[in-house]
Amino acid sequence: MRYLLPSLLLVALLAMLMLRGYVHSEILADHRVRPPDATGQVPDRILKGGPVIDARGTTAAKALKVPDRKLVLTFDDGPDPEWTPKVLDKLKKYNAHGVFFVTGTMASRHPDLVRRMVDEGHEVGLHTFNHPDLAYQTKSRIDWELTQNQLALAGAAGIRSSLFRPPYSSFSDAMDDKSWPVTEYIGSLGYITVLNNTDSEDWKRPGVDEIIRRAAPKGTSGSIVLMHDSGGDRSQTVAALDTFLPEMQARGFEFANLTEALGAPSAHTPVSGVELLKGKAFVGAVAVSEGTTAALVAGLAAIGVLVIGRFGLMLVLSFAHARKVRGRDFSWGPPVTEPVTVLVPAYNERECIANTVRSLMESDHPIEVIVIDDGSTDGTADIVEAMWLPNVHVVRQVNGGKPAALNNGIAHASHDIVVMMDGDTVFEPATVRELVQPFGDPAVGAVAGNAKVGNRDTLIGAWQHIEYVMGFNLDRRMYDLLRCMPTIPGAVGAFRRQALERVGGMSEDTLAEDTDITMAMHRDGWRVVYAERARAWTEAPESVQQLWSQRYRWSYGTMQAIWKHRRALIERGPSGRFGRVGLPLVSLFMVLFPLLAPLIDVFLLYGLVFGPTGNTILAWLGVLAVQAVCAAYAFRLDGERMVHLISLPLQQVLYRQLMYVVLLQSWITALTGGRLRWQKLRRTGAVEAPGATTARRTEGIRRPVA
């Protein structure tokens, strides 16, 4: 399911986009129009004959004329959802019939209008599927255009038609050596080609009076009149019908279908069986494609507005947060100088634990360190005990998971403030001191530190570095001011022991115990704040598989935490405030919207191949520019070098997609009732805090890229 369902969804989306592009003449369309050619190969009886050319059968092709006092109104290029109903209304008002030469693209998108045409007694003819100039096309393409056009008619109205009008056609005397072979071939397929006697040229919008003048026949001569019910603004055509129809009727003309005027059998043949089912399936697929893509486009537009708004809010509030906490007069309250307990849960952290503990020994704040060995099998606890460091204690337990290890550590803690960190993380000397200063405010129950990627000298590490600085720390500044911080990072966080006890300690209900405990703090009325100077250096996953495992757990655990604390939406007080501000923000921007974000890239690819390429590139560059501005500002706030932002465009193309698929898998796990277990990531112990002096140096260790 991890690969199958996302692949199926992607294939379905691409299929819908391709179908939509096909019926909107964005795919397989040919918009070339051929100039006139010589007429030497066209028989004189065709050039000098009527507008109806019957080249069916084995006899010579013949041209037919419409009898006197018969007018056949024809409308090309529809049906159009705006103008075709108005044309039909006018015909119904004056009890007139006409012939609608529909394209497959429009008929498949608006089948109800084709059904209305047939139900109200009008004839329907073919105008190809994509409206190409057939003189440029091969016989196989002509067959395809006609077959698909018939398929759309079958699905829309359950009929076939024997009437055909070539795109870009004119009078019979305009038939030339390029169009005549096409007409003969189409006749051999059983179609009657319908041209015209009078051309209203309504597509030029010459004015109502001019449309009427051009459409009117001379004397009592029968005529096929060319008009359009689609392809642009047809308001003048609709207005002209209000005058043209009664005027011609007053002159003794009858508006009839073509076969009625010629005294021939109806051009419509009912379809049934497999042919009908195929047509219905095609029209239904087009409807699903149209509806789905329209909804997705509307959703993307709404998401785009919200995301841009969030970026703007994030920039403004981050600036306000930095200005606030960096102000000369800012203070959390009395300085916090009393000792604190640092808890280090560890499971098979042999490669990292020595660096972690040594970094704590350089702390400029008095601390007690408790390493909780959660049933390690690689001698993690033995390494710590063999170091013989003061104020460092080891607590061993049977493997029970990180929440159980932390709760065990809290039970052994000697102090009222508890700092929590991961076994693969190293602190700077000032980290603990900076982390606990917000507890000078008695309303603060927990503090989030500034987690940084130490192994950023690989491409995956650099991408995660951008994500941590921009996506996590910039967010935390915003959430701090909004008082709805969703997560205290497990790598660097601090808690009042009293607050932990009031909410029942670390919960094992979710796989994101850090998010779970943070939400519980909010609901209990405590403030959760961000300490930007409390920096911790963590070892990010270095392979795609490890990254997948970590983010899969994070995503699924976040969804579990949101669901667990959902009652905050309807509660009062601090819990309700968090529920109506924090939970919607987290749900929208961390769980729901990212699911649709890959559509941006799908539409980008579609636009590059089939759409307006220049506009598509500009739009994507615009989105990238907004993200680059936010990232650059986040890097500036954190004092990071901008050089890592060089990989931002590639991150958006590759890394982001992985995160989306991970989130999708989390949804699949949640919706199918699956369970996800903790997965231990392989560590190298390659991360040290900048400026470390007593940590053991080993050859080949990679230092954080400052």
Active site (catalytic) residues: 76, 228
Cβ atoms of 365 and 375 closer than 8 Å: no
Q: Which segments of 346-445 does DSSP mark as H helices, in order?
A: 353-361, 380-387, 402-412, 431-436
> How many CA atoms does the CB half-sphere of 483 hold within 13 Å?
16
Q: Identify whether the C-beta of residue 6 lies closer than 8 Å to the C-beta of residue 664.
A: yes
Give me the phi and psi of 677, to 5 degrees please.
-100, 155
Listed in sequence order, the residues at least 6 apart from 272 whose beta carbon sits closer than 8 Å to its beta carbon are 158
- The secondary element (H helix, E strand) that includes residue 668 is helix 656-671
* N-term to C-term CA, the chain: 40
Whether 392 and 326 have beta carbons less than 8 Å apart is answered as no
For residue 544, how many other CB atoms are within 10 A of its CB?
12
**Cβ within 8 Å of residue 164, ≥6 positions away:** 101, 125, 126, 127, 146, 186, 191, 192, 193, 194
Pairing state of beta strands 198-199 and 340-346? Answer: unpaired
Q: Is 207 helix (H, G, I), strand (E, B) or coil?
A: coil
What is the distance between the alpha carbons of residues 178 and 35, in angstroms, rounded to a whole number? 10
User: H helices of 110-161, where?
Assistant: 111-119, 139-157
State CA 176 to chain mean position distance: 49
Give the span between the Cα atoms of 337 and 437, in whole angstroms. Answer: 8
**CA–CA dist 148, 160 (Å, integer):** 11
Give the DSSP letter of residue 444: E
What does the alpha-carbon distance between residue 184 and residue 458 come to, in Å, rounded to a whole number? 67
Nearest-angstrom CA–CA distance, 102 and 365: 81
Place of tokens 């497959």: 104
Residues 6 or more apart whose Cβ sits within 8 Å of residue 580: 568, 569
As a whole number of Å, the CA-based R_g of the chain is 37
Q: Which amino acid is at 151?
A: L
- For residue 43, give Cα distances in angstroms to 40, 65, 169, 181: 8, 16, 17, 11
232-238-244-250 Cα dihedral, nearest 10 degrees: 150
> What count of other Cβ atoms lies within 10 Å of the Cβ of residue 274?
8
Find the angle CA(118)-CA(122)-CA(123) to the nearest 5 degrees: 85
The continuous run of DSSP H or E covering 501 comes out as helix 497-502
Alpha helices in 204-343 (DSSP H): 208-215, 235-250, 258-262, 273-325
Q: Which helix (H) or strand (E) holds 576?
A: helix 573-586
